Amino acid sequence: MLCFCVVVNPLAASAKTRSELESEKKQIQQKIDAANKKIAELKEQKELKEEYAGELRKKIDLLQDEIDVIQADADVLRGQINTNQDKIDKVQAKIDEAERKIEEIQNKINQLQAEFDATYELYCQRLRAMYISGSVTTLEILLTCEDLSSMLTRSEMIKSVSEQDSETLDSLMTKMEEIEKSKQALQDKRIELNKDKQELVSKKEELVGQKSKLDANIAQIESKKSEYSAQVAECNAVIASIASTTNDCMETIAESQEEIDRIESTIQSIINQSTAGESNSGSNSSASTGKGQFRYPTDYTKISGTYPNYRSGGYHGGVDFPCPVGSNVYAAAAGKVIACMPTATSGGYGNCVMISHGNGLVTLYAHNSSILVSVGQSVSKGTVIAKSGNTGRSTGPHCHFEVRLNGSRVSPYPYLGITGA
C-alpha cells in the first residue's frame, strides 16, 4: 500500500509558535463555520430553486403540448390547402374545356353564316329574275304556248321553280333558327364560364386566407419554440448554478479541513519534538524566490480555478488546469518526491503527488488518474510524474496545482511567470 510520507524542515516548523498555529487554526475553523452557514443557506435556496425548476419543467411540458396542438393544426391546414389546389386545378380544366367548346361553336356559327349568306344570295337572284321578267301570270305563260306539249313543259317548269323557291325559303329559315340556337348556346356557355371563373376567384381568395392562417400559425409555433428553448436554458442555468455553488462550498470546507489537519499535525510534531532532515539535492535557489522558474504542470495552460479564490468567491489553495483524462502531468521543477497519496488517504485530492524543491518549497499535483513516481525518487524539471484525471473531490478532469512554502500555500503565479493575476 502506498503511504503518505512527509519530510519536515525543523526550521520551517519552528517558524511559528504553537500559539500562532492555534490562532491560525481558529481562523480556519471560522472559515469552515462560515462555509457551513453558507451551505445551510444554499440548501434553503436550493429547495426554492428546485421548486422553481420543477415549475419550469411543468411549463416546458405544457409548452410542448401546445406546440404539438399547433403543429397538428398546421398539418390540417396544409391538407386543406392541397385539397383547395386540387379543386382549383379542376375548375381551371373546366374553364379550358368551355373555352374549347366556345371556339367550336363559333366555328359552326361562322359556317352557318356562310351557308346563310349563300342561300340568301341565291334567293335574291331569283327575286331579281322575277322582277326583270315582269308581272306575268301563270295563265298567260300557258296560253302563249303553241301546242299542248309546250304547255305541259312550261307547267312543269313553273311548278319546279315554285317548289325550289319554297325549299330555299324553308332552308333559309331553318338555318336562321340553327344560328339563333347556336348563339343562345354560346351565351349559355359564356354564362357558365363566367360562373366557373367566379368560383375560381373565390377559391383563390379562400386559398390565400388559408395560407395566411398557416403562416400565422407557423410563426406562432416558432415563437413558442423560442420561448421553450429560453425556458429550458433558464432551467439548466438554475440547476448548473446550484451544482456549481454547492461544489465550491464543499471543496472550500474540504480544503479548510485539510488545512486544519495539517496544522494539527504540525502542532503534534512540535509537541513530540520530532524532526526530519530535508535534502536540498536537485534544488534551485532561484526557484524558491518565485521568479518564473517553474514550468506549467500540463501542456494545457488555460486556468479555470484561480488562486486564492474561485470566481464564485470561495477559497482555493491552488490553480486548476483543465485537461483530458490521461494527459501528462510534469514536475514543475527539479526535486525529490516526498508524497504519493492515493485517493483513499488524500482527503479530497484524489491521487496526489508532492515534490520538495529544497528551501521549504513544495509543489502538489492532485486529482490524477495514475501516479508514475514513488516516494524518494529524484525528478528533473519536466519529468512526467502522473497522468491527469478526475479523482477525489473534483468537478471535472483537471490538474490541481499548489505551491507551498514552509508549509503554507502561496500563490503559484510568480513561480509560473504569470503576472497581473
pLDDT tens by residue, 362-391: 999 999 999 999 999 999 999 999 999 999
Q: Is the model's pLDDT at 125 over the cut of 60? A: yes
Residue 311: pLDDT over 70: yes
Residues 39 and 41: their CA atoms lie apart, in Å, by: 5
Band of residue 269 on the pLDDT scale cut at 50, 70, 90: low
Evaluate whether 63 touches 228 at the Cβ level (below 8 Å): yes
Check residues 174 and 176 and name the one with the higher pLDDT: 174
Using the predicted structure, report yes or no on whether residue 19 has a pLDDT greater than 80.
no
> Which of 69-83, 158-172, 200-214 shows the highest mean pLDDT?
200-214
Cα separation, 56 vs 244, whole angstroms: 20
How many whole angstroms separate alpha carbon 127 and alpha carbon 120?
Answer: 11
Residue 23's pLDDT is what? 63
For the domain spanning 17-275, the CATH number is 1.10.287
Q: Is the pLDDT of residue 296 over 80?
A: yes
Give 3-state DSSP helix, strand, coil % of the chain, rounded to 5: 60, 10, 25
Confidence of residue 170 (pLDDT cuts 50, 70, 90): confident
pLDDT surpassing 80 at residue 205: yes
Residue of 181 and 27 predicted with greater confidence: 181
The answer to whether residues 123 and 169 touch, using CB atoms and an 8 Å cutoff, is yes
pLDDT tens for each residue of 322-345: 999 999 999 999 999 998 999 887
- Is residue 278 scored above 60 in pLDDT? no
- pLDDT value of position 270: 38
303 DSSP assignment: -
Find the mean pLDDT for residues 386-402: 94
Q: Mean pLDDT, the chain, as a whole number?
A: 76
Domain boundaries, the chain: 17-275, 279-421
- pLDDT of 184 > 90? The answer is no
pLDDT of residue 72: 80
- Which pLDDT band holds residue 282 (cuts at 50, 70, 90)? very low
pLDDT at 274 over 50: no
**pLDDT at residue number 391:** 94
Among 121-130, 140-149, 280-289, the range scoring the smallest mean pLDDT is 280-289
Inform me whether the pLDDT recorded for 317 exceeds 80: yes
Task: Say whether pLDDT at 5 is over 50.
Answer: no
For the cut 70, the answer to whether the pLDDT of residue 402 exceeds it is yes
β-pairing, 361-371 with 384-388?
A: antiparallel
268: pLDDT strictly greater than 50: no
Higher per-residue confidence, 392 vs 127: 392
Parallel, antiparallel or unpaired: strands 378-379 and 335-341: antiparallel
pLDDT of residue 132: 67
- Identify the pLDDT of residue 244: 67
Residue 48 has pLDDT above 50, yes or no: yes
Whether 143 shows a pLDDT value over 60: the answer reads: yes
Cell 349568306: give the residue.
Answer: 117
Is 10 a residue whose pLDDT tops 60?
A: no
Is 357 within 8 Å of 278 (Cβ atoms)? no
What would the pLDDT profile of 187-203 be if each residue is shown by its tens digit? 788 798 888 888 888 87
* CATH code for residues 279-421: 2.70.70.10
- What would the grid cell of residue 209 be? 386566407
Q: Are 359 and 341 in contact (CB under 8 A)?
A: no
pTM of the model: 0.40
- Contact status, residue 372 vs residue 392, Cβ threshold 8 Å: no
